[in-house]
A = this chain, B = another copy of it.
Amino acid sequence: MDERVPRDFETLRTTILDRRASLPKRIAQIAAYALDNPDDIAFGTAASIAASAGVQPSTLIRFAQQLGFDGFTSLQQVFRERLRERNSSYDERLAALRAKAEEGAGHRAIFDGFVAAASTSLSDISRALNDVHFEEAVDLLAKAETIYVLAKRRSYPVASYIAYALGKLKIRNQLIESAAGLNAEMIGFATPRDAVIAISFSPYAPATIEETRSIAEQGVPIVAITDSSFSPLAQFAKVWFEVAEADFGGFRSISATMALAMALTVAVGEKRRDTGRKRKA
């Protein structure tokens, strides 16, 4: 009765590993399954788990009892507890960061806020990015003779990074800046054999939209990075990405956009190398 029943997942794990050798075949089978698929144990029903592991429900219960639990249900508690704790680590850290940031404890809080916003944005885009769109965009850009990069204001840093990286990769590109006021002329040079990366977020810089429209009308294919399907950029684009950036204190992060931009650039570089190699071969 007061047998030493494992109360936390780590102890349980060790116990199972220790006894592994001496366990009967089916019990060993469920033991292995349990350690490999702890989530399934946490959420499944005795019957569903047993089925997945290829044993009978009763075996599952015997397994639990052999470990000192009085049934499957109490064994399951341990697996659930693990999820609760696990989960809290990352989320809570972020939440703590955000909380500290929001309660405004000095300037450090501002920094924490931006780190939290950036982290959130990254994990969002990591989930949301569409592989197919990404491939399409890479294809499209890899075929271009010249890649035009178009962005103003808040998005301009991203554009300047893309231009820098493309240059490093020896890919011909043209950053459309407004400094010299020659944008219209620059855009005039683009042909359908080129391509454009256009970046703009709400409130969309009118110049970006205008220039995107006019370059689209010349038949130049456009890859857009923007923030919603209502974005004016979306309608001009062959491929477009929706990037939801978290904000802090009214300043939106650009880390997700940046990561996407870097990935696009490097992927285009790789694609070109591959194509070049094949052509030679």
Say what secondary structure dominates the interface of chain A.
helix
Chain B positions within 8 Å of A179 at CB level: 179
Tell me, rounded to whole Å, the shortest Cβ–Cβ distance linking A176 to chain B: 14
Q: How far is the CA of A126 from the CA of B90 in the complex (A)?
A: 13
Quick one: which of B112, B126, B138, B157 contacts A107, CB cutoff 8 A? B138
Quick one: which of B114, B126, B249 contacts A259, CB cutoff 8 A? B114
Q: How far is the CA of A89 from the CA of B39 in the complex (A)?
A: 13
Q: Which of A14-22, A63-71, A115-123, A222-230 contacts the other chain? A: A115-123
A270→B111 contact, CB < 8 A: no
A86→B84 contact, CB < 8 A: no
A window 240-258: CB within 8 A of B: 248-249, 251, 253-255, 258
A267→B111 contact, CB < 8 A: yes
Quick one: which of B114, B154, B160 contacts A263, CB cutoff 8 A? B114
Chain B positions within 8 Å of A164 at CB level: 153-154, 156-157
Quick one: which of B87, B266, B270 contacts A86, CB cutoff 8 A? B87
Q: How far is the CA of A66 from the CA of B173 in the complex (A)?
A: 53
A115→B126 contact, CB < 8 A: yes
Tell me, rounded to whole Å, the shortest Cβ–Cβ distance linking A73 to chain B: 11
Q: Which of A50-58, A127-135, A207-215 contacts the other chain? A: A127-135
B262→A80 contact, CB < 8 A: no
By beta carbon, the residue of chain B nearest A262 is B114
Interface: A187 (CB within 8 A): no
- Given the interface pairs A118-B258, A164-B154, A258-B118, the reply to whether A108 lies near B86 with Cβ below 8 Å is no
Chain B positions within 8 Å of A89 at CB level: 86, 89-90
Tell me, rounded to whole Å, the shortest Cβ–Cβ distance linking A162 to chain B: 9
- Given the interface pairs A87-B87, A179-B179, the reply to whether A110 lies near B266 with Cβ below 8 Å is yes
Interface: A99 (CB within 8 A): no
- Could you say which of A87, A88, A112, A138 has the most chain B C-beta atoms within 10 Å of its C-beta? A87
Q: How far is the CA of A93 from the CA of B113 in the complex (A)?
A: 22
A254→B110 contact, CB < 8 A: no
Quick one: which of B88, B91, B108 contacts A134, CB cutoff 8 A? B108
Chain B positions within 8 Å of A158 at CB level: 157
Residue contacts A-B, CB under 8 angstroms, 16 given:
A83-B84, A86-B89, A97-B126, A110-B267, A111-B134, A113-B263, A114-B259, A114-B260, A118-B258, A119-B119, A154-B161, A156-B161, A165-B251, A179-B179, A249-B266, A258-B258
- Given contacts A86-B89, A157-B164, list 8 more A-B pairs with CB under 8 A: A83-B87, A86-B87, A97-B126, A110-B266, A113-B263, A154-B161, A253-B262, A255-B259
